[in-house]
Chains A and B, each alone.
Chain A
Amino acid sequence: MKTLFLLCGDVGCRGYESRQVYDKFLELKADWFDIKFTGCQGLCANGPILQVKPGDIFYQKVKSSDVFEILEKTQKNELVERLLYTDSETKKRYIRTDQVPFYKKQTKIILRTNGLINPKSIDDYIAMGGYAGLKKALTLQPENIVDEILKSGLRGRGGGGFPAGRKWEDVFNAFETPKYIICNGDEGDPGAFMDRSLMEGTPHVVLEGMTIAAFAVGSNEGFIYVRDEYPIAVRNLQKGIHDARKKGLLGENIFGSGFQFDIKIKRGAGAFVCGESSALMRSIEGKIGEPHEKHIHASEQGLWGKPTLLNNVETYANVPYIILNGAKNYKKMGTVDSPGTKVFSLVGKVRNAGLIEVEMGTTLREIIFEIGGGIVKNRPFKAVQTGGPSGGCIPSEYLDLPVDFDSLKAVGSIMGSGGMIVMDDCDCMVEVARYFTKFLMEESCGKCAPCREGLVQVYRILEGITQGRGSLEDLRKLKELGEYIASSSLCGLGRSAPNPLLSTLRYFEDEYIDHIKNKYCVAGVCKVLTKFEINIVKCTKCGLCFKACPVDAIKILDDGCYKIIEENCIRCGECRSACTFNAIRW
């Protein structure tokens, strides 16, 4: 058997020059091995990631200068020790992928083939069992497929967690034709890249899921709405559609069954609000992406006024698995009310930042501390933000919360599409609220007054607080505005827009008060309210802060100690980020 090298070619690893590594492999090409440039393998923080098969050997931080040695040693059945994953605490080295703590707790259904195949090869996908779900589906009665999805309890992975089967049933029952299938790939949440990784890494699983859905509800035309910032996803999906057509898995007479279905790609144009279903459909129609009142469901009157099934990328990616393995087996994973798995992008101040897939019901602690390896530089955990701008910040007292749709909602956040941003004591919660509010204010479509005008005022007040101009009266105003925007806005975006504000007010009101009354930012983020100094006890005089300071505000004293000159300091915090000994205090 040929040795197979799987090198991650996802954006994260490319940023660490995995392209050069790939080119090096090609340069040293030999008959005894194959090299594949794959989709995301998960552990983005330690990229570029390289897996070797057989043996499932896991290498990280691979550079092009390592390739020669890797080839040489692999041929001799030896390991390149220094490229193995090493636990930063115990210094233990791990060889196999499934032993690495980051992967150990994960359950890969959606990402099963992501990172193991060449995304541009339909044959790779088929070799891993791809399109078997579709093949099976075409032998079933459409109503039985709808029934299976209903029974599986699959909930929409785009955010709200609405039972997918109910949507399918409604479109199945809809009377009018034509019917449309839409896949929402407008992943707009900042700090989230699950859908991108999936569309780039395994485009066929999305196409397969959509085709099954189309057969089930009786549609012949589908659209994938892809965020404009994802050109590689567009390219890989295009290639996927092209190849599937050639193989008779898309287009006329799929698998010789007589069923016809085709998919078009629609590129978004940079509007977060287009993740909202009614705005997304307007955008596909070539209109301004403004939502409208949804008293009539898309399943009745959606795209161009016709019955439309709209699901998110990850929802469709679940479908082939459910059809192939049955609802019963699917329900064995996850929790009773949220079956299956969920893909998260675990980022922020967590050591093992990357793309993960876990069973629903896994606790935040398991995700952040076992899979994620804890907080960078061992700083204290402060909060985790889930659900993107419509979500909220969850404090440490809920670390043992099992993550599913309902539990997150109960603590004032939402599942959202799966962004999980970990924050430590250097993150200011007022600033986080300000950040999300600014984001939402800029992304508000401007149609309805509460969202358009309300968010501007919330933003102004929050900005005032972070700049030391806050008053206690502001807190009352903020609460009132938050409740008002949530109750009176037109669409889901507006109604959930105050979540970052309200959840931080709920759990971190002390921090707001600190800013207002004591003119002090406990996280050392708000520049006007912060003063940095060097803790001589912890300082090792390594000089990293000195090198990092962009304005030369750090001086060396005669005794070799460093000192921050307050007048020159712009409070950017780069010295604090650079210091590995937590010796900068504020």
Chain B
Amino acid sequence: MVEIFINDKKFKVAKNTKLLDTCKKNNIYIPTLCYHPDFPGFAGCRLCVVEVRKKNESKLVAACEYPIRSIERFYTESEMVKKSRRMTAKLLIARAPEAKEILEEIINEKIEPEFDTLNVQNKRCVLCGLCYRLCHKQGTAAIYTAGRGADKVVQTPYKDANEDCIGCGSCVAICPTGAIRMIDSNGKRALWYHQFELLKCPICGEQHITNQMLLYEMQKTGLSETELSICPRCRREKMGQEMLRGICHEKIVTVK
């Protein structure tokens, strides 16, 4: 165990615990953008910076990746921290002006735009990397970055429909700024330059899943096509009814 001070308050934590985890556990708010507990190790957005104060000097560290190893003093709301956060937010809205409100909410402060807007196509994307990291983590790996530096964009290769994309929309769901467009209409789903056919739920008829998702999940879970083509709502209903009838629901949840 290591003894540390966060905002002058003493805490005891296990060695090598990440600072952000400690703060979360103790209800100390740290703004985050690119952080996700399922795929750590990125530390790109730098909104979670925290001041480590030593006798003569202070430095900023990214709380999400900072391992606690020795007695140290951390400050999560010092002027140094706020200044850095504010600047990060200002710079990010120069790239993505449409993400302004969301960023203000995250850092809990109004942001005065200071810099000229960059000439980029997507006015919402802040390049936090959650979408493509998730896409790779879940195994579909349809999107990644292209280019580097300020020209970096998230996209499919050659900005073209990628066969690897199953149209699941999990990138849309995880994006904190709503930067990825997915449109479902007339039984079709438009996502990443693809037009996916949406299949109907055999019970209610709602069009909710793409054929590619179905195949992918069948392969991954071993569940049957009928099982998977039932929409989530009907599945819940079905499960409830089965349980009422005394059929154990284990069959559905534990099948791998």
Contacts and interface: CB of A to CB of B under 8 A. Distances in A.
Direct A–B touching, Cβ under 8 Å = yes
Interface of A: 271, 288, 292-293, 295, 441-450, 452-457, 460, 477, 480-481, 484, 487-490
B246 interface: no
A492 to B, nearest CB: 13
B65 A456 contact: no
Contacts of A452: 127, 149-150, 152
Contacts of B129: 447
A35 B113 CA distance: 67
Interface stretch (B38-46, B171-179, B186-194, B231-239): B38-46
Contacts of A442: 149
Contact of A484 (B84, B95, B150, B151): B84
B116 interface: yes
Interface of B: 41-47, 49, 59-60, 62, 65-67, 80, 83-84, 87-88, 91-92, 94-95, 114-116, 118, 126-127, 129, 145, 147-152
A444 B148 contact: yes
B114 A453 contact: no
A483 to B, nearest CB: 9
A143 B35 CA distance: 42
A498 to B, nearest CB: 13
Given A456-B118, A460-B116, A449 B149 contact: no
Nearest to A464: B116
B149 A446 contact: yes
Contacts of B88: 449-450, 453, 488
B230 to A, nearest CB: 40
A453 B95 contact: yes
Nearest to B153: A446
A441 B60 contact: no
Given A480-B87, A481-B87, A295 B95 contact: no
Given A487-B59, A488-B88, A455 B43 contact: no
A457 B113 CA distance: 13
Contacts of B94: 453, 457
A293 B20 CA distance: 14
Contact of B148 (A271, A295, A477, A489): A271
B207 to A, nearest CB: 37
A353 B59 CA distance: 40
Given A449-B126, A490-B62, 10 more contacts: A288-B145, A292-B41, A293-B43, A293-B62, A449-B46, A450-B46, A452-B152, A454-B87, A484-B87, A488-B46
Contact of A477 (B44, B114, B150, B152): B114
29 contacts: A293-B43, A293-B65, A293-B66, A443-B149, A444-B149, A445-B149, A446-B127, A446-B150, A447-B44, A448-B44, A448-B45, A448-B46, A449-B45, A449-B47, A449-B88, A449-B91, A449-B127, A450-B88, A452-B127, A454-B87, A457-B115, A460-B115, A484-B87, A487-B60, A487-B84, A488-B60, A488-B87, A488-B88, A489-B46
Given A292-B43, A449-B91, A477-B114, A484 B83 contact: yes
B124 to A, nearest CB: 15
B91 A446 contact: no
A434 B32 CA distance: 32
A425 B76 CA distance: 47
Contacts of B152: 446, 452
Contacts of A453: 88, 91-92, 94-95, 150
Given A442-B149, A455-B150, A484-B84, A449 B92 contact: yes
Nearest first, the 4 closest Cβ-Cβ pairs linking A and B are A453-B91, A446-B152, A444-B149, A293-B65
A445 B148 contact: yes
A490 B46 CA distance: 8
Contact of A444 (B43, B59, B67, B150): B150
B63 to A, nearest CB: 11
B231 to A, nearest CB: 38
Contacts of A487: 59-60, 80, 84
A454 B91 contact: yes
A457 B93 CA distance: 12
A288 B132 CA distance: 14
Contacts of A446: 127, 145, 147-152
B72 to A, nearest CB: 13
A292 B62 CA distance: 11
Nearest to A442: B149
Nearest to B45: A449
Contacts of A450: 46, 87-88, 91
Query: Which of B49, B83, B147, B149 gathers the greatest number of chain A CB atoms within 10 Å?
Result: B149
Nearest to A451: B149
B150 A456 contact: yes
Nearest to B66: A295
B69 to A, nearest CB: 8
Contacts of A480: 87
Contact of A490 (B43, B87, B95): B43
Contacts of A457: 91, 94, 115-116
Contacts of A448: 43-46
Contacts of B44: 447-449, 490
A327 to B, nearest CB: 32
B179 to A, nearest CB: 15
A484 B47 CA distance: 12
Query: Which of A293, A443, A449, A457 gathers the greatest number of chain B CB atoms within 10 Å?
Result: A449
A475 to B, nearest CB: 14
A449 B103 CA distance: 13
A573 to B, nearest CB: 30
Contacts of B115: 457, 460
Nearest to B80: A487
A330 to B, nearest CB: 33
Contacts of B67: 295
Contacts of B147: 446
B112 to A, nearest CB: 13
Nearest to B43: A293
B149 A441 contact: yes
B60 to A, nearest CB: 5
Nearest to A480: B87
Nearest to B87: A484
Contacts of B42: 292, 447
A281 to B, nearest CB: 14
